[in-house]
């Protein structure tokens, strides 16, 4: 066996072995599992780095397809249609508002040029509700609210990654004239998003037709695995469209098609497989996140971190308390939902992976990473720990 492969497998098993007791203790203390993993990992002064692959590669190529497919597969389509408008608002205008507000605020304060600041805003526009959703399930929060938060994360991750690609091209000196003109940015974003959606739908249809008449649940589980990773990788690596949208649509479409899975028992088997896989992926990603965050970099640029954090929080408050009422989610009826939505806007592994994956040619790369480290750590820990008490206080 190759030494590199042995080290990778040993590292992965070691990480999961550490995650198991942390999960047990977190459950008994009623602390969000993801927050507990990050906090414990931060206390490890000298952690082994993952051999053979970087943090960004592991998150973007191995963990992310599993997480987005599992979340999409478990969304209730009837409830999703009910909250589709606020999800669309938070996912598309919400990403743009965050990028522009962070970009404009940091540029006006003289801390970063606008292009690099907007790129930072796009990176931090991707929300990570893992800790929130786990708390939702423990406290039996209304399904529409949980669907709103999880659906927002799925679709705004896709929108944020698309905008990230455009802004990386604009920020790179060798971009050959790429500029931040609204027209080309919108056109390219639409092309990448629709391309990913189309590929996901084609993949789901092909899998359903290919498995027609199949009664073996194991084959259907393999089909979901191939669909999730196949669509994601083909979209990103070959067609250069949105892999997140491709994987999300595969999950939504396969669950919606009447002849996939074949029986209710098959559905249960697929649910169990993806629940376990998502748990493993979350355990791995949040421990790695804690190991990868460098607290010293946060302290190194305190004003940049604080300013960025303030702008990100401000953008979230504007979207929640000004934007959502404009699309019908306002007033006394949804006041509690708005409070939860505001506090659920934490950032996590995807933001950190995108920051670390920035090309070395991007100006101000180090400062962008510093700011992302700070915002991810503060929002994940503070908001993750606060969500449970807030839900209880609101009686949701």
Average pLDDT, rounded, for the chain: 84
Indicate whether 176 pLDDT > 50: no
- Alpha carbon distances (Å) from 137 to 282, 310, 331, 338, 390: 16, 29, 26, 18, 15
Q: What is the pLDDT of residue 52?
A: 41
Q: How confident is the model at residue 118 (pLDDT cuts 50, 70, 90)?
A: very high
Greater confidence (117 vs 300) lies with 117
- Alpha carbon distances (Å) from 78 to 16, 83, 252, 296: 35, 9, 12, 46
Residues 236-254 have a mean pLDDT of 92
Which of 32-41, 46-55, 87-96, 147-156 is least confident? Answer: 46-55
Residues 268-284 have a mean pLDDT of 88
Rg of the chain in Å (alpha carbons): 20
Q: What is the pLDDT of residue 318?
A: 94
Greater confidence (329 vs 105) lies with 105
- Alpha carbon distances (Å) from 120 to 112, 184, 191, 238, 268: 10, 20, 22, 26, 41
Greater confidence (396 vs 150) lies with 150
Q: Name the range with the highest mean pLDDT among 279-288, 293-302, 310-319, 341-350.
A: 310-319
Give the distance from CA 211 to its chain's centroid. Answer: 30
Residues 331-364 have pLDDT tens digits of 777 788 888 888 888 888 889 889 988 888 888 8
Indicate whether 53 pLDDT > 60: no
Q: How confident is the model at residue 134 (pLDDT cuts 50, 70, 90)?
A: low
Residues 139-160 have a mean pLDDT of 85
Residues 72-104 have pLDDT tens digits of 998 888 899 889 999 999 888 899 999 999 999
Indicate whether 47 pLDDT > 50: no
Residues 123-136 have a mean pLDDT of 77
The residues near 249 (Cβ < 8 Å, ≥ 6 apart) are 72, 196, 197, 199, 200, 201, 204, 231
| Entry pTM | 0.87
Q: How far apart are CA 69 and CA 250, in angstroms?
A: 7
Residues 250-257 have a mean pLDDT of 90
- What region, left, alpha or beta, does residue 81 occupy, with left being phi > 0 and alpha being psi -120 to 50 degrees? alpha
Q: How far apart are CA 392 and CA 387, in angstroms?
A: 9
Q: How confident is the model at residue 396 (pLDDT cuts 50, 70, 90)?
A: low
Residue 341 near residue 98 (C-beta atoms within 8 A)? no
Q: What is the pLDDT of residue 45?
A: 55
Q: What is the pLDDT of residue 185?
A: 67
Q: What is the pLDDT of residue 49?
A: 47
Percent over 70 (pLDDT), the chain: 90
Q: How far apart are CA 286 and CA 284, in angstroms?
A: 6
Indicate whether 320 pLDDT > 50: yes
Q: How far apart are CA 199 and CA 239, in angstroms?
A: 9
Residues 227-240 have a mean pLDDT of 93
Q: What is the pLDDT of residue 50?
A: 45
Q: What is the pLDDT of residue 286?
A: 83
CATH number (3.40.630.30, 3.40.50.150, 1.20.1530.20, 1.20.1340.10) of 3-394 reads 1.20.1530.20
Indicate whether 229 pLDDT > 90: yes
Indicate whether 209 pLDDT > 80: yes
Give the number of other CB atoms < 10 A from CB of residue 198. 16
Indicate whether 129 pLDDT > 70: no
Q: What is the pLDDT of residue 372?
A: 92
Which of 75-84, 94-103, 112-121, 261-270 is least confident? Answer: 261-270
Q: Name the range with the highest mean pLDDT among 53-57, 179-183, 252-256, 392-396.
A: 252-256
Domain boundaries, the chain: 3-394
Greater confidence (217 vs 272) lies with 272
């Amino acid at each position: 066996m190759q030494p590199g492969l042995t080290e990778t497998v040993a590292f992965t098993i070691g990480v999961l072995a550490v995650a198991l007791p942390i999960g047990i203790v977190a459950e008994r203390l009623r602390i969000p599992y993801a927050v507990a993993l990050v906090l414990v990992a931060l206390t490890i002064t000298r952690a082994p780095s993952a051999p053979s692959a970087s943090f960004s590669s592991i998150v973007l190529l191995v963990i992310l397809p599993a997480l987005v497919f599992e979340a999409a597969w478990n969304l209730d389509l009837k409830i999703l249609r009910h909250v589709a408008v606020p999800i669309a608002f938070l996912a598309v205008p919400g990403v743009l508002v965050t990028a522009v507000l962070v970009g404009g605020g940091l540029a006006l304060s003289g801390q970063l040029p606008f292009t690099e600041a907007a790129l930072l805003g796009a990176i931090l526009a991707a929300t990570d509700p893992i800790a929130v959703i786990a708390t939702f399930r423990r406290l039996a929060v209304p399904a529409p609210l949980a669907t709103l938060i999880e659906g927002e994360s799925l679709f705004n991750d896709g929108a944020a990654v698309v905008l990230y690609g455009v802004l990386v091209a604009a920020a790179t000196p060798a971009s050959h004239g790429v500029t931040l003109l609204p027209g080309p940015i919108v056109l390219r974003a639409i092309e990448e998003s629709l391309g990913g959606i189309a590929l996901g739908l084609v993949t789901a249809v092909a899998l359903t037709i290919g498995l027609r008449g199949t009664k073996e649940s194991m084959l259907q589980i393999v089909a979901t695995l191939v669909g999730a990773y196949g669509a994601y990788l083909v979209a990103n690596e070959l067609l250069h469209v949105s892999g997140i949208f491709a994987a999300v649509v595969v999950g939504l479409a396969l669950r919606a098609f009447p002849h996939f899975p074949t029986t209710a028992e098959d559905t249960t088997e697929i649910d169990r497989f993806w629940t376990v896989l998502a748990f493993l992926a979350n355990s791995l990603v949040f421990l790695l996140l804690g190991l990868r965050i460098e607290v010293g970099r946060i302290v190194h640029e305190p004003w940049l971190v604080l300013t960025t954090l303030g702008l990100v929080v401000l953008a979230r408050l504007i979207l929640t308390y000004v934007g959502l009422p404009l699309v019908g989610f306002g007033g006394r009826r949804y006041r509690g939902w708005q409070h939860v939505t505001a506090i659920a806007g934490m950032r996590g592994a995807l933001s950190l992976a995108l920051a670390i994956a920035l090309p070395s040619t991007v100006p101000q790369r180090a400062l962008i990473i510093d700011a992302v480290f700070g915002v991810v750590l503060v929002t994940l820990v503070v908001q993750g720990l606060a969500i449970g008490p807030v839900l209880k206080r609101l009686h949701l």
